[in-house]
Each structure stands twice: as C-alpha cells, then as structure tokens.
Structure 1
Amino acid sequence: MKVYNNPFSGAGFKVTAVVNELALSNVELITVDLGKGQHQEPWFRAINPHAKVPALVDGDMCLFESNAIITYLGALKPESGLVPTDPRGLAEVQKWLHWHSSTFYPDAMKINWNTYYQKVLGHPKDEKTLAEGRELVARDLKAMDGALQGREYLTGKLTVADFSLVSALLMRDVAGIDLTPFPNVKAWAERMEARPSLKKARPPV
C-alpha cells in the first residue's frame, strides 16, 4: 500500500498520523514535491485526477480525499476502534467528518491560507478573507466546545474524526487561532497533539 503525501499538507498530516496510530507497517509513505509540480504530472493525475495530496493506492484501488483515506485505514483495523462498526457510532463519526469537509476546514483555511501558508508560499494576504475566517472559526469552535463538554473526544472515544478535525488546528499558533475561550477544545487539541502518532506526523516547521 502506498500513500502519496506532502509534509506541509494539513490533509496529508491526518493521514500520516492515522498510519502512525495504527502502526501500519505495510504502508509506504511517498513524498510528492508540490514545489516542483509533481502533483500535476500525468503519473500522479492517474492516481488522483484532481492533482491533490494525499492519495492512496492499494492494489488496483486509487483513493483520494483525506477523510475517505483515514476511514479506509481505520476500517482495516476494526479492533482499534478508530472507525466504529455499530451504526450509531459510525454515524457519529461520519457526522463530524462531513462537518469538517463542509464547514470547519473551509473556514479554517481562510485563516491558514492567509497566515501559515502565506508565509510558506509567499502569496498575497487577503485581509478581508482572513477576518471572515476568524469570525467563522470562532463560531465553529464554540459549537465544538459544546460538543466536547464532558468528553475527551468528539464521539466520546478516539476515532478518525478527532484526527480529521485537529488537523485544521495544527498551525493554530502561527495562524493566531486562540483556543483559550474554548477550554474544552483546547484540552482536546492538546490531548490529541500529545499522542506520539501526531508528534511524529508534524511537518518540519
């Protein structure tokens, strides 16, 4: 099994972290050099026609979208509990994964793109989008804080949903996202980031 990734990708970070968490020794992590445009080359577009990392190849299956990938990886080891097998547990995980894709990630990227990635890539900063992102993320964090009340993890126990959502907060210090007003989220994020699997997956800067 091969995972094509880049260490500076937030979406890729969660995939690497789940690989680490599950101790999947049969996974080969391959770096795609985005700076050199490898993601646009025909060989990679044959894997992911959208030219984005991460992407997974397992036999004759090519899988893209980070949430789909981590769900697949977790399902390979049902004993881990990262992907529940009961209908209600699975629905709870899917709820958070869909919310991440439709709401939290787009909102957080308005901030991350104009702070962390702006410094890394050097593109112009869009102050209007940045301000909009800060307002939206504050709303999102308030909702998460309520959901985490009395819970260590989003669904009550560690699942791929936790890995997915924490990836959007990976560069929160550089991005200026303050979790102090959201104590439940802050404790959860620190709990997640203390896991060896996430520490090992962190990008070099």
Structure 2
Amino acid sequence: MKVYNNPFSGSGFKVTAVVHELGLDVEFITVDLAKGQQLQPAFLAINPHAKVPVLVDGDLIVWESNAIVTYLGAKVPERGLMPTDPRGLAEVQKWLHWHSAAFYGNAFKVNWNTYYQKLFGHPKDEKVLAEGMEAVKRDLKVLEAALTGREYLTGKLSVADFALATTLLMRDMAGIDLRPFPNVKAWAERMDARPSMQKARPPV
C-alpha cells in the first residue's frame, strides 16, 4: 500500500496515526503542496480533487481521509478499530460523518487562523477565527456529553477516535482550551499518549 500525504495535512494526521496503530506496511509518499505537486497530472490521475491524503492499494484508490481510515480498519478486523456488527458500524460511521460535516470544518477555521497562520504566514481572519472558536465550543459540548462514563467515543477504541482526536492534535497552538470539558480533555490526552498519535504529529 501507498499513502500520498503531507506531514502538515490535518486530514492526513488521522491516516498516519491509524497506519501506525495497526502496524501496517505502508509506503508514505510526500506530496509537496507548496510546490503544487498536487496539481500535477500524475497526482490528479489518482485524485482529481487535488488533495491529500490518498491511499493506493493495488488497483484500489481511496481518497477522503475518513474513507481511508475506514478501509484500513476493515483490513485488520481483529484489531477492532472498524466494527463489523451493525450497531458498532453505525456508531463509528455516525461520528465519522459528524466529523466530516461539522467538527473538522469548524476546527479548521480555528487551526487555519492560528497554527497554520503562524506556519505559513498568511493573513489572519479574526472574524472567521471567532466564528470557528464558537462553533468548536458547541462541538466540544457534544463530545463532552458523549464521553460521559466512556474512555472512547463508542465505548472502545475505533477509527472514530483517531479522526476526531487528530483534529485536536494542535489544540494548544490553536488556543482551543479543553479545561471546561474534562471528559474531552481526558480522552484527548489518552489518545495523545498513544505512540501512533505521537508519530502523526507534524514536525513543528
């Protein structure tokens, strides 16, 4: 298997973490986004949306990071990161869809105007930052309630935990304070402590 990625890709963090969590033999290929390699014909042939990450496994090409981690989890069913029973499958998919539809986009508004702003030096949009921070606080209330009495989102570790936890990976630099959400804070710290998550962190 090959994964085309970039070490600073927020969407790529979760794929990297799940690969390492499962101990899969994967070749990581760095796509230099700053140089526009994602716009080259060779890359567009595997992802016409010009985004990372992309997984290639034989003749199978998967883009969209949550689809990739779902596939990876299903490749190693004995590890339980991707349930096979209908209830467990629905629980994980619920969180992955919510992540794509709401949480990631809201957090990206914050991350783009804090961590990535310092990294790349683009102008900061204070209005978007404030909107994103308010939305993230609402999302964290949802997570706080869901994690009551649970160590993980569905009761046991799954790809959903990696998807959502990696979105908070750079929370300190982004100014996202988890102290008002003790369940989320404990869960995020629990996830951060996993070696696979540490390997997913960008170099700065």
TM-score band by shorter chain is over 0.9
Shift of residue 167 of structure 1?
1.4
Corresponding residue number in structure 1 for 2:52:
53
2:200 and 2:164 map into 1 onto residues whose CA distance is 15
Does 1:14 pair with 2:22?
no
Tell me the residue number matched to 1:4: 4
Distance 1:127 1:119 in 2: 14
CA deviation map 1:113-157 (0-9, x unaligned): 111111112111110010011111000001100000000000000
- Give 1:85 shift: 0.4
Is 1:180 equivalent to 2:179 in the alignment?
yes
> CA separation in 1, counterparts of 2:43 and 2:19?
21
**Cα distance, 1:48 vs structure 2:** 0.5
How many Å separate the matches in 2 of 1:54 and 1:12? 5
For residues 86-128 of structure 1, give each alpha carbon's deviation from its aligned partner in whole angstroms, at most 9, with x where no partner exists.
Answer: 0000000000000000000011011011111111121111100
- What does residue 24 of structure 2 align with? 24
Distance in 2 (alpha carbons) for counterparts of 1:21 and 1:180: 27
For 1:1-205, list aligned pairs within 5 A.
Answer: 1-25=1-25, 27-205=26-204
One-letter amino acid of the structure 2 residue matched with residue 22 of structure 1: L
Partner amino acid, structure 1, of 2:77: P
> Whole-Å Cα distance in 1 between the matches of residues 105 and 197 of structure 2?
22
Between the aligned partners of 1:72 and 1:135, the Cα distance in structure 2 is 33
Q: Runs of 4+ in structure 1 displaced over 6 angstroms?
A: none
- Number of residue equivalences: 204
Structure 2, unmatched stretches of 5+, are: none
Instruction: Tell me, in whole angstroms, the C-alpha distance in 2 between the residues paired with 1:56 and 1:64.
Output: 6
Taking the aligned partners of 1:165 and 1:201, their CA distance within structure 2 comes to: 13
CA distance in 2, matches of 1:88, 1:147: 16
Report percent identity of matched pairs: 76
Task: State the one-letter code of the partner of 2:166.
Answer: S
Query: Which string of whole-angstrom CA distances, capped at 9 and with x for unpartnered residues, describes residues 26-47 of structure 1?
Result: x111111111111111100101
SS at match of 1:85: coil
Please give the secondary structure, in 1, of the residue aligned with 2:122: coil
Distance 1:168 1:197 in 2: 15
Q: Secondary structure at the match of 2:133?
A: helix
